[in-house]
Amino acid sequence: MEATNQSKDVLVVGAGIAGIEASLLLAQAGRKVYLVEKSPSIGGNVIKFEEVFTNLECSTCMIAPKQQETLQAERIELLTLSQVVRVEGGLGDFKVTVKRNARWVDLEACIGCGACFDPCPVSLKNEFEEGLGERKAIYIPCAGALPNVPAIDREHCLRFTGEDKTCQACQEACVFEAIDFDQQDEELEIKVGAIVVATGYDLFDPRRSPQYGYGKVGGVYTAFEFERLFASNGPTGGEILLPNGNPPKSVAIIHCVGRKERGYCSAVCCMYALKFVHYLKSKLPTVEVAQLYTDFCIPGKSAQRFSEKVKGMGGDLIRAEVVEVAKENGNLRVKYNLPSGKAGSLEVDMVILAPAIEPRADAADLAKVFNIAQDDAGFFAEEHPEFSSVATPREGIFIVGCAQGPKNIQGSVAQSEAAVGRIISLLP
Amino acid sequence: MENRIGVFVCHCGINIATTVDVKAVVAAIKDYPGVVHAEDYIYMCSDPGQGMIQERIRKKSLNGVVVASCSPTLHEVTFRNTVARVGINPYRCEIANIREHCSWVHSDRAEATVKAIKIVKTVIEKVKLNEELTPIAIPITKRALVIGGGIAGIQAALDTANAGYEVILVEKQPSIGGHMIQLSETFPTLDCSQCILTPKMVEVGHHPQIRLYTYSEVEEVSGYVGNFKVRIRKKKRWVDFDKCIGCGICMEKCPVEVPSEFEEGLAKRKAIYIPFPQAVPAKPVIDAAHCLWFQTGKCRICEKLCPTGAIDYEQQEEIIEEEVGAIVVATGYDLYGMENIGEYGGGRYQDVINGLQFERLLSASGPTQGVVRRPSDGKVPKRVAFISCVGSRDPELHKPYCSKVCCMYLTKHAMLYKHRVPDGEAIVFYIDIRSDGKGYEEFVQRAQEEDHVTYIRGKVSKIYENNGELVIMAADTLSGKPLEVSCDLVVLGMAIVPSPGVEELIRKLKIQVDTNGFLTEAHPKLRPVETLTPGIFLAGCGQAPRDIPDTVAQASGAASKALEMFGQEQLHHDPAVATVNEDICSGCGLCVPLCPYEAREIEVIKGKRIAVVNEVLCEGCGSCVAACPSGAAQQRNLQDSQLFRMSEAVTIK
């Protein structure tokens, strides 16, 4: 059966580990891929981590070659700072409209030397560093971000906010004439045969559960923030430091933050909490660490061994039900109830929260654009939860990675591979 | 050729730079003979790092590159591609491993730095004598072998076949379907398992691109990626499938009854049997171990009654040879034997059963038509205990890992039991509830809130029989109190273990398993469906305990890897393999049995015995090179001359 006008090209939305893996595999199988990424660089959340469980492999080393291959693959057309705004048609014949925002830096001319950062008069908190570091209005999110070409942040650049329409500090600093204020936002029309939605996840905002003190008392961090505190390319160069500049002496890691509110288990937190214990104990051997958990959820064939290994490094494991964090004598007091009903508490100087994985804030909008459904929790709904977890009821549109539900890297990669298998099988 | 070598030393963030003084390494190497450039950088594998290497190659006309960084298993390919893009033969680029071999295993910075310098020097000496090589091209047979016909194998076979490629599906049981076809309903949707699986089984049975060999086993695998040769042994089934019309008269009249494997021993089958009504193929086989004719020389009733003359007591085993380019191993799981846990009385007490047995009790097509009746006396049990982590998470005595699906299927069991017996009581004993999938936590909550299933956190120490009741002794670890609960039926959530016989298969395939017998993937994060043997892929519980959604996804993933390969015209093999100097080779043949890849064999060339090398099979392990008494065997780019220079670089001042 040879249909006319059928496109075998594929659109992949989101350039985290799931989207990258799907794009590379499709390209290797000879397909043209359009990889659309909202942010200025690719790599998603995995590049925020220093190491990954369970083998404690360097995360950057693991993903950097994949990012590179993505940039170099002839068959992958990467569209950064871009979003899908309209999808028409069906399997084999989708017409997709992509809005590409201007970067105002020429991808070809720029060599990523970074000379433009210093002269930029605007400093603000760097979202990539979870606000723990600063960046300029012309910036790359972190050392090693790819493509290694800065973007100008239209929300803050004085030229675009109108505060100083004549500012051209970056342009003057650039010896390669890569800054181009004439670049325009544009809309592109793409024809593809299938679509892979790999838009990833957000973390539950712990401010929604005020008992944890996040945002009110100092020394309470989210998992992402702590990852950046440990990252060798992070704001502290990998030193675990409290706001007062000292390393913590005692740390409490609180599991299941937002589990009740969201109504599901986020699948990865117990494992990364163990990894955090390893981070802490390897860098600060005398630090005391306590984990407050509800169920220890570490399935899989290598997880138990990792857990035993980390347990061997010390630290307490407390099964606790209600947890509250408050400031006390300059330190943090973590109060909890044991399942037996007895109350307990401990004094620490750092608290790390493991917040639930939740759908991205714009998931509802994306669901409308792709005309796919969301499940009760807001993740994209699959065709069949058991039999067809990467397909959607809309033929030709696939969902992979945490956009479909919380999962670890292996699960995300396996789903990407699965979606590619289904696509090659549907559009041979 | 005059050597113009560049040395690039990576910090790997803090991974190397903390323990090794990278600046000192650069300083010590800068003026080493043959080196014209040396430099360090924070992440050499990053885009700017690679760009820097390319820029130096151009500017300083380098013709050899040493990257001092992590293990070559990680980034050899990366850096070889980097240099190739600016015109250097990739085999003139080598990795000096100063991370795994140095910074990660040492703590003394001064000593580690000295060692790093030595490592770099040896690799410089190697590069000096490295030849320029070209990869060996290999043709591809665009046909796949799938081993195992459970849900994983079925999905992988269908995906591959639907993409237009031929698939050989081998299943050792008389029917495909695996364990999933035994299940009653699946969590968390409570879909009828047979209803969702049978259409796929039928599709496999009728698919023009799938050749199905049931009741067959893989006998021998030779060859290599793209070009495997497989011998498949079709067991004697004593029924001619071409003649059999599947009418079933033979089964009705067979006088022998034996416990049915499909019903997990809870019902009987005949000696000539179809495992279950929806079997694919729906044609019977004779179980010779129980057939009266084979055991006593009398009977042959099935032969007399068969309307098409399909019974053939003279049938012989058949060996079929197939050529394939890729292999998907989907060998599945088994449950850890209940007899291993003596203190729970499984196998001793009739009413202590495993999860698959309970599935059959719940199944509408099962031995009790879906009415929950306990095996001992057929009574409907009024209190049922479900015990998780039986044999799992027990590194001292049993299996150290978590079996992943038991929390969920025991919850499902408890829920379905309550639907069938609303006035009954369901108690789940657990250690941690592991509900880490979409809709799973909600499912557990539903069991607790809507179906009033009781959850007790505690490890069961013993089960004993008392006046026809089973008494469970446990400790409630939440309240810290010991407790005893009597009940009518106990369901054990047994650990998931690899299928029996898989050890033999992996030896034939030359792939690895971990200490627990699960197939090992090439990389735990990024290459979950590949093995380290090119062209052999993994799917399902043979690789690790997992649920149906993950299994299906992994199976489609394995198919995509095969399809990716079939999309190419040819494959490429590393040329750094063994060679033989025919003038020196005496034809002694020592190397032939030593080669683990069957790449060496004796050939008579111009009247002289020569141990030749099959370059495509050779993986460059070096066994033959080390064994060769005359030095005729040499490994490309790891010649004796190179090894001597490499050792001299660190031993002679």
Q: Cβ of B443 under 8 Å from any chain A Cβ?
A: no
CA angle B201, B361, B180 (to 5 degrees): 25
Dihedral over Cα of B612, B614, B617, B622: its sign: positive
Same domain, B457 and B528: no
Strand locations in A53-126, DSSP E? 57-58, 76-79, 82-90, 93-100, 123-125
- CATH code of B84's domain: 3.40.50
Q: Which of A145, A179, A213 is the last residue of a domain?
A: A179
Q: Do A420 and B75 touch (CB under 8 A)?
A: no
Q: Pick B28 or A65 by higher pLDDT.
A: B28
Per the CB < 8 Å rule, is A420 touching B560? yes
Give the CATH number, domain containing residue A256: 3.50.50.60
**Spatial separation of the C-alpha atoms in residues B213 and B201, rounded to whole Å:** 13
In a domain, A368, yes or no: yes
Looking at the structure of chain B, the number of domains it has is 5
B227 touches chain A (CB under 8 A): no
**Does any domain span residue B650?**
no
Q: Which of residues 284-303 of B touch A (CB under 8 A)?
A: none
Structure tokens at B99: 């991370």
- Phi, psi (degrees; rounded to nearest 5) at B322: -135, 150
| Whether residues B351 and B486 fall in one domain | yes
- Between positions 8 and 37 of B, the ones with CB within 8 A of A are 12-15
Residues with Cβ within 8 Å of B648's Cβ and at least 6 positions away in sequence, in order, are B125
Helix (H, G, I), strand (E, B) or coil at B489: strand
User: Chain A: residue nearest B525 by CA?
Assistant: A410
Asked if residue B268 belongs to a domain, the reply is yes
Return d(Cα A252, Cα A247) in angstroms, integer: 14
Query: Could you tell me if residue A240 is inside a domain?
Result: yes
The domain boundary residue, chosen from A321, A356, A391: A356
Residue numbers in B near A299 (CB within 8 A): 402-404, 434, 436, 545
Q: Are B155 and B559 in contact (CB under 8 A)?
A: yes
Chain B residues inside the 8 Å CB shell of A301: 401, 514, 516, 518, 544-545
pLDDT cut 70: percent of chain B above it: 100
Best mutation target, A61, A140, A311, to test chain B (most B CBs within 10 A):
A61
Count structural domains, chain A. 3
Q: Do B559 and A409 touch (CB under 8 A)?
A: no
What is the complex's ipTM, to 2 decimals?
0.72
pLDDT at A1: 44
Distance from CA of A216 to the nearest CA of B (A): 30
pLDDT at position B653 is: 57
- Residue B52 falls inside a structural domain: yes
Of B135, B155, B188, the last residue of a domain is B135
Q: Provide the Cα torsion B532, B534, B539, B543; round to 10°.
A: -20
DSSP B555-606: HHHHHHHHHHHHTSSEEEE-S--EEE-TTT-----THHHH-TTS-EEEEEET
Smallest Cβ–Cβ distance between B518 and the set A143, A301, A389 belongs to A301
Q: Is B199 on the interface with A (CB under 8 A)?
A: no
- Return the CATH number at B601: 3.30.70.20
Decide if B330 touches A, using CB distance below 8 A.
no
Place of tokens 């005359």: B630
Whether residues A14 and A36 fall in one domain: yes
User: Are residues A282 and A332 located together in one domain of the fold?
Assistant: yes
Closest partner residue to B548 among A58, A386, A414, by Cβ?
A: A386
Q: pLDDT by residue (tens digit) across B418-476?
A: 999 999 999 999 999 999 888 999 999 999 999 999 999 998 999 999 988 999 999 98
Chain B residue with CA closest to A381: the answer is B438
The torsion defined by the Cα of A299, A302, A304 and A306, in degrees rounded to 10, comes to -130
Q: Give CA–CA dist B194/B173, Å, rounded.
A: 17
Model pLDDT for residues B187-206, shown as the tens digit of each residue: 999 999 999 999 999 999 99
What are the distances in angstroms from CA A402 to CA A51, A408, B578? Answer: 19, 8, 46
Please report, for residues A84, A153, B163, B560, B568, the alpha-carbon distance to residue A186 in angstroms, rounded to integers and kept in the order given: 12, 17, 36, 34, 36
- Could you tell me the pTM of the whole model? 0.79
Q: Are residues B201 and B350 in the same domain?
A: no
Residues B228 and B292 in one domain: no
**Chain A contact for B424 (CB, 8 A cutoff):** no
Say whether both B358 and B434 belong to one domain. Answer: yes
Tokens describing residue B7: 């040395």
Our CA-based measurement puts residue A316 at a distance from the nearest CA of chain B, in whole angstroms, of 17
Averaged pLDDT in 10-residue chunks for chain A of 428 residues: 75 97 94 97 93 88 88 93 97 97 91 86 93 93 86 95 94 90 96 98 96 93 95 89 93 95 93 95 94 89 88 90 87 92 93 96 96 96 89 96 95 95 93
pLDDT of B634 > 90? The answer is: yes
Average pLDDT, chain B: 94
Are B99 and B206 members of one domain?
Answer: no
pLDDT for B74 beyond 80: no
E strand or H helix at B102: none
Q: Are strands A33-36 and A10-13 parallel, antiparallel or unpaired?
A: parallel
CB A60, CB B13: distance < 8 Å: yes
Residue of B nearest to A403 (CA): B438
Half-sphere exposure of B16 (CA within 13 A, CB side): 31
Q: Do A428 and B163 touch (CB under 8 A)?
A: yes
Q: Which helix (H) or strand (E) holds A423?
A: helix A409-426
Is the domain of B525 the same as that of B488? no
A2 falls within a domain: no
Rounded distance, CA A9 to CA A95, Å?
Answer: 11
Interface residue of B393, B438, B457, B570 to substitute, partner A, most A CBs within 10 Å:
B438
A–B: how many Cβ contacts below 8 A?
246
* Interface touch A265/B441, C-beta < 8 Å: yes
Task: Tell me how many degrees the CA angle B529-B535-B538 measures, rounded to the nearest 5.
Answer: 25
Domain boundary among B135, B159, B175: B135
Q: What is the DSSP string of A153-170?
A: -TTT-HHHHTS-TT--HH
B478 close contact with A: CB closer than 8 A = yes
Smallest CA–CA separation between B78 and chain A, in Å? 7
Of B176, B185, B174, nearest in space to B360 by CA? B185
The 8-class DSSP code of residue A403 comes to: G
Residue of A nearest to B560 (CA): A421
On whether any CB of chain A is under 8 Å from the CB of B184, the answer is no
Could B159 and A422 be called an inter-chain contact, meaning their C-beta atoms sit closer than 8 Å?
A: yes
Residue B505 maps to a domain: yes
The C-alpha atoms of residue B569 and residue A27 are separated, in whole angstroms, by 15
Q: Out of A29, A263, A413, name the one closest to residue B525 (CB).
A: A413
Q: Which residues of A touch B13 (CB under 8 A)?
A: 50, 58, 60, 232-233, 238
B3-22 CB burial, b ≥16 within 10 A, e <16? bbbbbbbbbbbbbbbbbbbb
- What number is the average pLDDT over the span B392-404? 93
Structural contact between residues A152 and A105, judged by C-beta atoms closer than 8 angstroms: yes
Asked if the Cβ–Cβ distance from A417 to B529 is below 8 Å, we say yes
Residues A125-157: tens digit of each pLDDT: 999 998 889 999 999 998 778 898 999 999 999
Q: Is residue A5 part of a domain?
A: no
Taking contacts as CB-CB distances below 8 angstroms, the residues of chain B near A426 are 162
Place of tokens 């790819």: A146
Which H or E run includes A344? strand A343-348
Domain end call among B527, B546, B566:
B566
- Residues B352 and B479 reside in one and the same domain: yes
The answer as to whether B647 is a domain residue is no
| Whole-number pLDDT of residue A4 | 59
Flag if A143 and B42 touch (Cβ within 8 Å): yes
Mutant choice from A28, A50, A140, A264 vs B, greatest count of B C-beta within 10 A? A264
Q: State the nearest Cα–Cα gap between B442 and chain A, in angstroms.
A: 6
Q: What is the CATH number of the domain that holds B157?
A: 3.50.50.60
Q: Are residues A171 and A193 in the same domain?
A: no
C-alpha closest to that of B345 among B466, B473, B465, B484:
B465
Determine the angle formed by the axes of helices A223-230 and A269-283, rounding to 10 degrees. 30
The b-or-e profile of A88-123 (16+ CB within 10 A means b, else e) is: eeebbebebebbbbbbbbeeeebbbebebbebbebe
Nearest CA to B45 among B18, B99, B8, B14?
Answer: B8
User: Which of A68, A297, A420 lies nearest to residue B436, judging by beta carbons?
Assistant: A297
CB of B146 closer than 8 Å to CB of B191? no
Mutate to test the interface with A, among B196, B409, B435, B441 (most CBs of A within 10 A): B441
Residue of A nearest to B50 (CA): A68
Does one domain contain both B385 and B401? yes
Residue among B15, B50, B441 minimizing CB distance to A68: B50
Angle (deg, nearest 10), helices B151-162 and A409-426: 40
Q: Which residues of A touch B478 (CB under 8 A)?
A: 319, 339-340
A418 and B556 within 8 Å at the Cβ level: the answer is yes
CB burial of residue A247 (10 Å; 0-12, 13-18, 19+)? middle
Interchain CB contact of B438 with A (< 8 Å):
yes
Q: Are A351 and A365 in the same domain?
A: no
> Do B485 and B339 have their domain in common?
yes
Task: Determine the structural domain holding residue A369 and report its residue range.
Answer: 10-101+185-200+360-426
Residues of B in contact with A54 (CB under 8 A): 524
Angle, vertex CA A313, rays to CA A312 and CA A315, nearest 5: 100
**For residue B475, what are the domain limits?**
335-497
- Percent of all residues in chain B with a pLDDT value above 90, rounded to a whole number: 87
Is B322 found in the same domain as B222? yes
Closest partner residue to B12 (CB to CB) among A61, A143, A421 is A61
Asked, for residue B461, whether it belongs to a domain, the answer is yes
**What is the rounded radius of gyration, in angstroms, for the C-alpha atoms of chain B?**
31
A311 and A343 fall within a common domain: yes
Query: CB B525 to CB A62 under 8 A?
Result: yes
CA distance A143 to A127: 14
Tokens of B567: 């999309």
Residues of B in contact with A52 (CB under 8 A): 525
Last residue of a domain, which of A356, A373, A390? A356
Q: Which positions in chain A touch B196 (Cβ < 8 Å)?
A: 384, 386-387
Which stretches within A326-372 are classed as H helix?
Answer: 363-370
Give the pLDDT of residue B536: 96
Pick the closest to residue B555 from B329, B402, B228 (CA basis). Answer: B329
Average pLDDT over residues B611-637: 93
Q: Which one of A54, A304, A384 has the shortest CB-CB distance to B393?
A: A304
Pair A265, A411 in one domain: no
* One domain for residues B508 and B489: no
CB half-sphere exposure, B486, CA atoms < 13 A = 5
| Optimal mutation site among A304, A340, A386, A399, interface B, most CBs of chain B within 10 A | A386
